[in-house]
Structure 1
């Protein structure tokens, strides 16, 4: 069998930065969820994205949960949430016993549609928070979304789990809202094997999150808890990996862009293929290179039409990993009972989209292997 090509897998630095920080943690015996690496990772990431403070946590999901709690979201509160996303964006709304209302995307950004968001504010004027996602490293239209949230005095949370290193009009995603979250899961552009970060300019709220995330231990000689707590703090070992990875973030973004442009150059002329939108105000991190197969733009007969599944299965036969676009939350069995505002953009992107292999360890030969399989499908059909 041919050598495996992954969609996106961990890529440690050639320089060994991660090992240095982890070794320091072992040498000083700071293994627990506190220590120099945790503190410095928070400071370094906050400085990178332009936020005043950060809390290092066990996952991006935990970061969204803490952002909602910090925003005062509780039982029965309405939270607007982008529908085209991974379930980790929406699950914490349920953790807080709040009510999600899902918002459609637009084709211009693949992210939250400001027009649908405005419609949602009319229908639900008492909404407590908005969660916008920067999908696949593509920035949402933040000027319009920030303006709407300020107009309605609603907390804005940015799910930038997939967009660390992405800028909107020169400013990093995750730093526009009241809270921003990042993920360091194994498939992200930099990884700590697992972990997340919550950032905010509200230093008092971040301090409170750190308190909640360490089981809400009051300052007392004995173990005393006046509030419910969570075991959400990142370990000093994991944070050491993160510090090392942060040093090569710009290199990873450059390689992801190279991969996207390679695909676009080689596949962009194939009938029916369209690439994810790159707007002039957005410099993505190109986390995953995504395409759509658009039957309506193709002169092919129904019999010769190539679907995303056809591509995924052809790649799979050669031991190459790919994925569909996220299935929208309003179509998920658990969430389908909740309201949805918008049209069918997110559903069409899901039905017609595919995430191509975007691993930063891929060589040109790997890319040519993938491209050759896709071109062969077109030639045979």
Structure 2
């Protein structure tokens, strides 16, 4: 069988973007100045329903800036998920702080039952500060990730945040376009509810600028500080006066030229992703031993990644066997990230009752889910998912 290669998740780009790129070249505005940066920021703010957005070099840079302006510093602790990409955790170390790792729930997001249990039983609340009984360090913030675009239970998390006086960074790098349908935050987008929200436009995300990120907050003073720090903390641009240590974290005009075009197509991309997910779901109901993981039905998720649980007993081969089968036949698939608390830089860090995450690490596979995926591509993936299929 002569198969085409089907990538896991690639940009959905069209040549109509060339006019924007042509303008950046003709005007010479290719770096961290130019009209497309402000235009993209304005479009992002309008889309997610906030007053303002500040662009940056990457989602990782956005998380770093968020931690800094929220006052996380040397010797502090930040609660993070172990089931996530490592870029959600590394910025904690950039600030000289230490992560404390939490387990996941059945949605792959942070287990909020265990989070509250940890804060209640393993910490003390002294003079308005949460002190970790084991390490004696101050817990300053939570970084909560909307994994694969599936919104976490933010209403519950916000209650925990307020109860314990913690800062909350929403890592919405995978969740642009996901929003809540019910409850206190009905109609609100992921990333717009905590103290600071961060988005990513990496090449595998639902829209892309090649690289790049965006930061939102309802606190305009925080955004002012984020912008200031992202341009090397330049107080006087004419005489190069710097009042703080800043970063070269500003998005380029070329990246933003992609973004202003891409964001106009975001809802169409999500519509396609939902349709393709449902097509996979219907077909896979007849494949014993494979389960396509659901998205929460009280939200409108962006369906960024499709996750499949492999039950070796029912399916016939294990997750790794299926990974090899797919990738050897040109269907790019991948396992879940290695759990962060097991990575070499974080082996000594505290983790709390991590039990479920190991199951997903061992049994989950992500299958092709690009927004330009054709029905014929899905048929090809499904053929290789059926072990009894004869080629």
Specify the TM-score bucket, using the shorter chain as the normaliser. Answer: over 0.9
Residue 321 of structure 1 aligns with which residue? Answer: 332
**Whole-Å Cα distance in 1 between the matches of residues 388 and 154 of structure 2?**
37
- Of 229, 249, 254, the match for 1:237: 254
Question: Residue in 1 aligned with 2:285?
Answer: 268
Q: Structure 2 CA distance, aligned partners of 1:33 and 1:183?
A: 17
For 1:10 and 1:279, the matched residues in 2 are separated by 25
Structure 2 match to 1:336: 347
Counterpart Cα distance in 1 of 2:375 and 2:389: 22
Does the residue aligned with 1:118 lie in a helix, a strand or coil? helix
1-structure distance, mates of 2:150, 2:353: 20
Q: Does 1:365 align with 2:369?
A: no
User: Deviation string for 1:205-227 (max 9, x for gaps)?
Assistant: 11111111111112264222221
Select 1:136's aligned residue among 136, 148, 173. 148
Unaligned runs of 5+ in 1: none
Q: Where does structure 1 differ by over 3 angstroms across 4 or more consecutive aligned residues? A: none
Structure 1 residues 29-48: Cα deviation after superposition (integer angstroms, max 9, x where no partner): 32220221111111110111
C-alpha contact 2:295 2:301 (8 A) present in aligned 1: yes
Query: Relative to structure 2, which stretch is displaced further, 307-316 or 94-103?
Result: 307-316
| Aligned mates of 1:314, 1:220 — CA distance in 2 | 56
Matching of residue 147 in structure 1 with residue 145 in structure 2: no
Q: Does 1:22 align with 2:18?
A: no
Partners of 1:371 and 1:220 in 2: how far apart?
A: 57
SS at match of 1:102: strand
Say whether residues 1:5 and 2:6 are aligned partners: yes
Q: Secondary structure at the match of 2:242?
A: coil
Cα distance in structure 2, aligned partners of 1:72 and 1:53: 21
Distance 1:212 1:326, change over 3 A: same
SS at 2:346 equivalent: coil
Task: Supply the distance in 1 between the matched residues of 2:200 and 2:139 (Cα, whole angstroms).
Answer: 26
Q: Distance in 2 between matches of 1:139 and 1:294?
A: 25
- Measure, in 2, the Cα distance between the counterparts of 1:233 and 1:42: 12
The whole-number CA distance in structure 2 between the counterparts of 1:7 and 1:105 is 24
Q: In structure 2, how many angstroms separate the alpha carbons of the residues matched to 1:305 and 1:222?
A: 69
Provide Cα deviations, 1:43-100, integer angstroms capped at 9, x if missing partner: 1101111222211111000000000001010101110011110000000000001010
Aligned residue for 2:236, secondary structure, equals coil
Q: 1:341 to 1:168 in 2, by over 3 A?
A: farther
Q: Look up the match of 1:80.
A: 79
CA shift for structure 1 position 28: 2.8
Unpaired segments ≥5 residues, structure 2: 124-129, 131-137, 182-186
Deviation per CA, 1:300-351: give whole Å up to 9, x if none: 4xxx732111111111121110010122211222212111123311111111
